[in-house]
Structure 1
Amino acid sequence: MQSLFFLLVFFVGFLFIYQRQRKKSDSQYLVPLGTWSVTFLIVYLSIIEIQNHSFYIGVILAMLLLIYLNYKRDKTRLINGFLFNVWFVSFGIYLGFHFLQTRDVIVLGLLIILMIFVFGFALFGLISLIILLYWNSLIVLKREGRSLGNLLTLILALVLTVILIFNLFLVNKLPEYIVYLFSILPFSLTYFSFFFLNFLTISLIYQLNRPKLKQDFVIVLGAGLINGERVTPLLARRIDRALDFYHRQLQQTGHPIKIILSGGQGPDEKVSEAFAMKQYALAQGIPDTDLLLEDQSTSTETNMAFSKKIIESYSFTTPKVIFASNNYHIFRAGIFARQNQLRADGIGAKTALYYLPNAFLREFIAIIALHRKKHFIFLGLVTIFLLLMAILSFIILK
């Protein structure tokens, strides 16, 4: 009876928040509904634990608080993704233990949801992943054209295919020293998969940024031009995301905000990206006085560095800054903002679903490249070890 009452309270609150968000011009469903769901769950589990004279929920909440504080201190660290994944596994174990003690219906429902998620992930095994990657690569190449950046999902699919064929048909037929040599590839893939999982987790969490409507500057990051003079659809979405925030802040608070259009002129471009972005913004009715051009940068890192100089030219004691880019790009952009001592969070523009796997892979490679020295040292040591094992195995066989 108690469980039914709490379920009723949950659904009434859920529907109330949903209806309120529908009435807003800038409807935001995920964060308010997610906040209500988590709050309800914590309160419910705490009540059940108190009734059973146990307080295991305290450990789970302490872990969650640690993750939150670490995230607030620096949102752009991969360790935050790792900590959240550890917490997620711990929470699943806690729910299982909780259900064994209480046989609670709501806890059972949560366990079923988690099991569906985990088993769904497991069923999405290597063969299914390879098929999906091949399918995705064909779509990307067809719609976006052939380039190294657009070949990433295809390259990954080919590597996984080689590993699958080796494990299924060759591993038991080759000498042990050959197996040692070949194991360098799957080990490296497993190593990077661990980091990719943490990267993907924190990247998705970073999407939940909801900056307050009291910003002084919004930086729009450049992304190439059509025929060297017009913004691409991808870049237009970045600008539109910034303009949406610009309009909402003015309408709801009246607080003025400057838009910094950041992007230099490439060797094959007729104008700078910043200039083309300004023409686009002017066509959307934005006053010229609210647009600032940063037309010297050639990368995301220099976008942040040169935009910071523009911000510092104004007499703000502690300017409030955000930046706009595509959703897959804002986490890495946030890293460069921090490296340039620019306290700014990102807001992401939507990207076509078919393009996201390729885009996230490219972002991940770029982040790995930022710390390539430590990764290469570790993998180099592992490679040396496997080579020694292969040599030892070869000598023994002889």
Structure 2
Amino acid sequence: MLFYLLSICSFGGILMLRLMGKSRQFQSYLLVAAVLSLFAGMLQGNESPQIVWIRYAVMLFRVLFGLISPFAFLFFGLALVFNGVLLINKEGWAKRYALLLAVGIFILLMDLLFLLNYFVFHHYLIWRFMRLMSYFIIYFGVVLILFFVATTFYGLIPVSLDKDFIIVLGAGLLPDGRISPLLEKRLDRAIRFFRNQAEHTQKRPCRMIVSGGQGVDEPFSEAYAMKRYLIAKGIPEELIIEEDKSVNTYQNLLYSKGIMDTYKEKYKCLFITNNFHTVRSSLYAHRVGLDTDGLGAWTPFYFLPYAFLREFIAVVFMQIKGHTLLLALVLVFGLWRIYL
């Protein structure tokens, strides 16, 4: 009953935030909480015959998970290695792509150690080590799933056509100054929203803030390149505002907020980024005091595994103190279960 009550409260909170026009970030979190609470309530009802099949399904899942998890991790490790090699071939050598490759190799080595100990060594110290590692794997697995669900739900929540400003977050230029493929997707998504709002509402055309400074290997600022692209696509120059000082997402949103504050005291805004980047951008927006919606542009499939893993790590480090405390508790719990 408690879980059903939590689910109802979460759905009620979503409705309230929708009516108040509040940030989609919190709506997505409440949606995750509502779904998980509803599922937990269904599993809790042991005396309810209509959900007996769910309990048996969960029991079957536990057995299958124990049998196939080593092979699932093998597949996951191979996928990361393949994606790392693919990115290096397509995008060129970079430390961040090498890190993805290294994570995949580490997972493969851990999986190999487990299989060798299961079939060959049978050493109790290796079993203890692997069991301890399993607690950390479960922790990060749960956090990763929650992050994936939150990112997915964030993209499902509709955005109202009432914006005064659209912020397009920079994503780097090519060495010759051309727009990168990821940035082009963001700009095209911003153009579609701009035109959709203009066609379906009587609201005055919104302004576009193109946010991005100049990198050491770039001939000019990202903001300047984005402005040229938008003008070439038919967006009026007088509606485009350049923010060319920022060097990261936090500064993109902070400096853009400063610009919007000079135009209007009260306004509604929207940031545009890639779909994998929406949750972290929303967290940064909350930090700078910006109540905003966010839209994610389509991302090439081959780039998604690396991008999603990078975003997950970045969000974990944004909340490093809380995760450090929880990991310490996981370590204590794991040692207690193994040795006591």
Shift of the 85–313 alpha-carbon distance from structure 1 to 2, 3 Å rule, reads same
Is 1:347 paired with 2:295?
yes
CA contact (8 A) 1:79 1:198 kept: no
Give the 3 Å change call, closer, same or farther, for CA 161–102 of structure 1 in structure 2. closer
- Residue 230 of structure 1 and its aligned partner are, at CA, apart by 1.8
Q: Percent identity?
A: 30
Per the alignment, in what secondary structure is the counterpart of residue 230 of structure 1?
Answer: coil
Match of 2:232 in 1: 283
Question: Are residues 1:371 and 2:319 paired?
Answer: yes
Aligned to 2:285: 337
Q: How has the CA–CA distance of structure 1 residues 164 and 318 changed in structure 2, closer, same or farther, with 3 Å as cutoff?
A: same
Equivalent pairs, count: 323
Listed as ranges, the gaps of 5+ residues in structure 1 are 1-55, 394-398
Q: Give the direction of change, closer, same or farther, for the CA distance of 1:68–1:151 in structure 2 (3 Å limit).
A: farther
Asked if 1:150 corresponds to 2:94, the answer is no
Partner of residue 254, structure 2 = 305
Q: Which has the larger radius of gyration?
A: 1
Preserved contact between residue 24 and residue 294 of structure 2 (Cα < 8 Å)? no
Alignment correspondent of 1:194: 142
User: Displacement, 1:371?
Assistant: 1.5
| Higher deviation after alignment, 354-363 or 79-88 | 79-88
SS at match of 1:134: helix
SS at match of 1:225: coil
In structure 2, C-alpha distance between the alignment counterparts of 1:302 and 1:230, rounded to whole Å: 22
Q: Is residue 2:27 matched to residue 1:83?
A: no
Counterpart of 1:128?
75
After superposition, the CA RMSD in angstroms is 3.7
Aligned to 1:261: 210
Distance 1:128 1:309, change over 3 A: same
Q: C-alpha distance in 1, partners of 2:178/2:187?
A: 13
Amino acid at match of 2:138: T
Q: Which amino acid aligns with 1:297?
A: S
Cα gap change, 1:348/1:377 in structure 2, threshold over 3 Å: closer, same or farther?
A: same
For each residue in 1:348-381, what CA deviation from the matched residue of structure 2 results, as whole angstroms up to 9, or x when unmatched?
1001122211111000000011112332344356
What amino acid sits opposite 1:128 in the alignment? F
Distance (whole Å) between structure 1 residues aligned to residue 91 and residue 158 of structure 2: 31
Q: Report the Cα distance in structure 2 between the residues aligned to 1:142 and 1:234, rounded to whole angstroms.
A: 17
Name the TM-score, length of structure 1 as normaliser. 0.70
Unpaired runs of 5+ residues, structure 2, are: none
Deviation at 1:340, TM superposition (A): 0.7
**CA separation in 2, counterparts of 1:88 and 1:362?**
30
User: Deviation per CA, 1:6-41, whole angstroms, max 9, x where unpaired?
Assistant: xxxxxxxxxxxxxxxxxxxxxxxxxxxxxxxxxxxx
- Residue 194 of structure 2 is matched in structure 1 by 246
How far apart, in 1, do the equivalents of 2:244 and 2:142 lie? 38
Residues in 1 aligned to 2:336 and 2:268: alpha-carbon distance in whole angstroms: 55
Do the aligned partners of 1:180 and 1:386 also contact (CA within 8 Å) in 2? no
Displacement of 1:386 in angstroms is: 7.2
CA deviation vs aligned residue, 1:318-343 (integer Å, no higher than 9, x gap): 20000100010011101111111101
Judge conservation of contact 2:6–2:37 (CA < 8 Å) in 1. no
Secondary structure at the aligned position of 1:329 is classed as helix
Distance in 2 (alpha carbons) for counterparts of 1:154 and 1:81: 34
Alpha-carbon distance in 2 for matches of 1:386, 1:189? 12
Q: Distance in 2 between matches of 1:74 and 1:102?
A: 35
Matched, 1:326 2:250: no
1:162 paired residue number: 109
Paired residues of 2:272 and 2:294 also in contact (CA < 8 A): yes
Q: For residue 271 of structure 2, give the secondary structure of its aligned residue in structure 1.
A: strand
TM-score of the pair, normalised by structure 2? 0.80
SS at match of 1:76: helix
Deviates more, 1:189-198 or 1:66-75: 66-75
Q: Contact 1:137–1:154 (CA<8 Å) still a contact in 2?
A: yes
CA deviation profile, 1:242-267 (whole Å, cap 9, x unmatched): 11111111112142200000001112
Distance 1:327 1:173, change over 3 A: same
The aligned counterpart of 1:205 is 153
Q: Partner of 1:312: helix, strand, or coil?
A: helix
* Secondary structure class of the residue paired with 1:226: coil
Asked if structure 1 preserves the Cα contact closer than 8 Å seen for 2:23 and 2:292, the reply is: no
